[in-house]
Amino acid sequence: MSTRGTRFRTTLAALAATALGLSLSVRGAEDGLLTGTIKTASGSPIEGVAVSAQIPGNPITTSVFTGADGRYFFPAMPAGSYTVWAQAVGLERAEAKTDVGSRVSRLDFTMKETSDIIPQLSGYQVMAALPEDTVAHRRGKVLFQKNCTYCHETATVLRDRFDQPGWEAIVLAMTNGFSRNPKPLTPAQKELATYLTEMRGPGPSPMKPTVFRPRGEATLPVTYEYDVEFDQGGFSAHSGSDWRFGQASSAGGGGAIHDTTLDWDGNFWFTANRASSNRTIGRVDGKTGKTTNFGVPIGEGRVAQSHGILLGPDGRVYFNSSPKIAYLDGDLGIIDTKTQKIETIRPPDGMTLVSGWLGYDAKGRIWASSGPTKTPGGALRFDPKTKTFTQFKSPTARMTYGIAGDADGNGWWTGVDDDIMVYTDANDQVHEIKMPPQPPAEYVKAVDFGEGEEIPQPGIGGKQSPRRPFADLDGTAVWVPNFYGNTLLRIDTKTKELKYYPVPYPAMNPYEAAVDSKHHVWVTFQNSDEMGRFDPQTGNWTMYSWPTKGMAQRQNHMLERDGVLQFASASGVAHRVGRMIIRTERDVQALRDRVK
């Protein structure tokens, strides 16, 4: 969780309007517009093509999508010589160079179809292509989902084809921690390798991939993505921006980013969840892309780690600062984004410490997960005015995960291992709601597994695994994304009524919610490069794409102000932070008018 969907009203409306709106308008004489049309070889316009532009060597990549007429419209961009590339599922990448300056630059592309689209797909889209027609296929799919896709985006695993010995070597490495002296494969592991060989091996595959591209409203956003410098210098050699190479990878580079938030000047603040000598959190300048490290020393040349981060109602950035495990037993860190000075505040003796998930309530108080992981956990509430903590203990729920504050000032947190939602009332009493189980993934049938045969990972039998909730601060709903259950749970804060909504596809692994002023629910998915907007009134989902392969987005930081809705996200694998601005039809029409 960490950062919260944020609708700042009176208090923050007074802050100077800065980075939010400027990307939607022409900023000055030094900026220019870039537009063009993308068609097939036969001349048909293509909708939903991601068009990206970057000045070589500059860490900022700007991307837009083509509309139904095949046209794309970048917002005003700084003048310079850009590399521009176009990518879409089912099509070969196209690339060109162009100068952007005072005139309107036009760049058209013709794109050809490609055959193997699996490496271009997002995680759940690959899962959707795996057949469910036989017992062997359903067993294999479940073994694959439960063993591989809780850590890896599916598309990463199935990017390449390998023969049976190759898949066995991979399963051997993964199940033995990359040991050079691994234990032999178990029958289930062997079955998994055989299944993977059938799906992505030398022979014909029964997979039936579908072309997914953004359509309609989902083509409106503009994204700004920033390659983040490693704490020891340098950038990832593959950030996922070039789809020919598949999902992102920062292996061997030493990078670690967990969550990010934007401040009101348009700069990113992100957490570093790995031991480091210089980075507890980092800052990425929204204008230049420059990365700056900030460390909380813990002795012996080391600095604390961090996990959750959010922009508080007071405009300061809050995070956990943990000396040992990135998400456990730390202090509350606060950074003034103007002076860039950090203070860390430790809960008093006798209280449990700050864990790695943060939220805030409508009264401006910060909520933090807290407590042990194997026995009932709890939460802390921090009052920024008095700098005091209040501790809450969960009656039974272990391992507090995501946490949120609601419109009445109450806290809501998840017992991730026990499918329990914990909440406080007006008298600061703590209560629990046991989440009812749901039917397992629809492709699993009772006959698929023998009696006593266990699937080696959880997520079957209706377990939900609630992750990072969000409370509508202008309503009575708490929304809970459920990672294993692939559901979105609505809890009414007044009546405690529960209602599950399925996510649009199986195996998306929903993670964190945010709610906008229209009460739409925005959900991130770990097994995806997309973010979903759910309309509770219609039950419809709209999927918005990041143009990076390997986003595996968990946290969800929403900012809404002056009618502009935007989201910030971090990807540890891609070693990127980015923001997606949800443009309106009117925004894009204004650009159409300008380039006429």
Partner 1 sequence: MLRISMVLALGYALGCMVSAQSSSLSPAEKTGRRIFQTRCAMCHVGQEPATEMATPASERRPATMGPLLSKANTANEMTLRQKIRDGSRLMPGYKHALTDTQLDQVIAFMKTIEKPLTRIAMARAGE
Question: Which uninterrupted H or E stretch holds 82?
Answer: strand 80-87
Pick the stretch among 8-16, 88-96, 223-231, 308-316 that binds partner 1 (CB under 8 A).
223-231
Q: What is the dihedral of CA 22, 25, 27, 33, to 10 degrees?
A: 130
Q: Using CA atoms, how far apart are residues 520 and 525, in angstroms rounded to an integer?
A: 16
Instruction: Return the residue of 9, 112, 183, 341 that touches partner 1, per CB under 8 A.
Output: 341
Instruction: Return the residue of 189, 273, 464, 482 that touches partner 1, per CB under 8 A.
Output: 273
Is residue 278 a contact residue for partner 1 (CB under 8 A)? yes
Instruction: Return the residue of 28, 43, 233, 539 that touches partner 1, per CB under 8 A.
Output: 233
Give the CA count within 13 Å in the CB-facing half-sphere of 212: 25
Instruction: Return the residue of 25, 30, 237, 461 that touches partner 1, per CB under 8 A.
Output: 237
Pick the stretch among 23-31, 105-113, 132-140, 291-299 that binds partner 1 (CB under 8 A).
291-299
Q: Which is nearer to partner 1, 87 or 247 (CB)?
A: 247
CB 256 to partner 1: min, Å: 5
Nearest to 469 by CA among 556, 541, 561: 556
Only one residue has tokens 């443009």, namely: 583
CB 2 to partner 1: min, Å: 13
Q: How far is CA 512 from each of CA 318, 350, 435, 489, 595, rounded to the nearest angstrom? A: 18, 31, 17, 12, 38
Q: Which is nearer to partner 1, 55 or 564 (CB)?
A: 55
Is residue 185 a contact residue for partner 1 (CB under 8 A)? no
Is residue 229 a contact residue for partner 1 (CB under 8 A)? yes
Pick the stretch among 228-236, 498-506, 561-569, 581-589 that binds partner 1 (CB under 8 A).
228-236
Q: Using CA atoms, how far apart are residues 281 and 100, in angstroms rounded to an integer?
A: 34
Q: Which is nearer to partner 1, 233 or 450 (CB)?
A: 233
CB 71 to partner 1: min, Å: 25
Nearest to 309 by CA among 254, 252, 361, 271: 271
Here's the x/- map for partner 1, 83-122, by CB under 8 A: it reads as: x---------------------------------------
Q: Which is nearer to partner 1, 202 or 395 (CB)?
A: 202
Longest pairwise C-alpha distance within the chain: 72
User: What is the footprint of partner 1 within residues 406-435 (CB under 8 A)?
Assistant: none
Q: Which is nearer to partner 1, 111 or 284 (CB)?
A: 284
Pick the stretch among 12-20, 230-238, 529-537, 588-596 that binds partner 1 (CB under 8 A).
230-238
Q: Which is nearer to partner 1, 54 or 147 (CB)?
A: 54
Is residue 330 a contact residue for partner 1 (CB under 8 A)? no
CB 557 to partner 1: min, Å: 19
User: What is the footprint of partner 1 within residues 556-595 (CB under 8 A)?
Assistant: 572
Q: Evaluate whether 449 touches 135 at the Cβ level (below 8 Å).
A: no
Only one residue has tokens 């009101």, namely: 264
User: What is the footprint of partner 1 within residues 150-169 (CB under 8 A)?
Assistant: 159-163, 165-167, 169
Is residue 207 a contact residue for partner 1 (CB under 8 A)? no
Q: Which is nearer to partner 1, 389 or 505 (CB)?
A: 389
Is residue 298 a contact residue for partner 1 (CB under 8 A)? yes
Pick the stretch among 27-35, 140-148, 229-237, 471-479 that binds partner 1 (CB under 8 A).
229-237
Q: Using CA atoms, how far apart are residues 398 and 244, in angstroms rounded to an integer?
A: 43
Backbone angles phi, psi at 243, to 5 degrees: -65, -15
Q: Which is nearer to partner 1, 70 or 333 (CB)?
A: 333
Which residues are within 8 A (CB) of 309 and not within 5 positions of it... i.e. 6 or more apart? 2, 3, 259, 260, 261, 269, 270, 271, 281, 317, 318, 319, 358
3-state secondary structure of 407: coil
Q: In what order do the strands lie in the sheet with 420-424?
A: 400-405, 411-415, 420-424, 430-434
User: What is the footprint of partner 1 within residues 378-397 (CB under 8 A)?
Assistant: 387
User: What is the footprint of partner 1 within residues 36-55 (CB under 8 A)?
Assistant: 54-55
User: What is the footprint of partner 1 within residues 475-534 (CB under 8 A)?
Assistant: none
Q: Using CA atoms, how far apart are residues 356 and 373, in angstroms rounded to an integer?
A: 12
Is residue 199 a contact residue for partner 1 (CB under 8 A)? no
First-to-final CA distance of the chain: 43
CB-CB neighbours of 333 under 10 Å: 24
Q: Which is nearer to partner 1, 3 or 291 (CB)?
A: 291
Which residues are within 8 A (CB) of 356 and not within 5 positions of it... i.e. 6 or more apart? 2, 258, 273, 306, 307, 308, 320, 322, 326, 327, 328, 330, 369
CB 20 to partner 1: min, Å: 24
Is residue 80 a contact residue for partner 1 (CB under 8 A)? no
Q: Which is nearer to partner 1, 293 or 527 (CB)?
A: 293
Instruction: Return the residue of 9, 69, 173, 563 that touches partner 1, per CB under 8 A.
Output: 173
Only one residue has tokens 């039950």, namely: 539
Q: Which is nearer to partner 1, 9 or 324 (CB)?
A: 324
Total of chain residues touching partner 1, rule CB under 8 A: 85
Pick the stretch among 209-217, 226-234, 441-449, 458-466 that binds partner 1 (CB under 8 A).
226-234
Q: Evaluate whether 183 touches 213 at the Cβ level (below 8 Å).
A: no
Burial class (CB in 10 A: 0-12, 13-18, 19+), 595: middle
Pick the stretch among 3-11, 40-48, 141-149, 270-278 that binds partner 1 (CB under 8 A).
270-278
Q: Evaluate whether 503 touches 472 at the Cβ level (below 8 Å).
A: no
Nearest to 591 by CA among 74, 20, 48: 74
Is residue 254 a contact residue for partner 1 (CB under 8 A)? yes
Here's the x/- map for partner 1, 346-385, by CB under 8 A: it reads as: x-xx------------------------------------
Strands 557-561 and 6-7: parallel
Q: Which is nearer to partner 1, 46 or 256 (CB)?
A: 256
Q: Which is nearer to partner 1, 182 or 475 (CB)?
A: 182
Torsional sign, CA 209, 215, 218, 220: positive
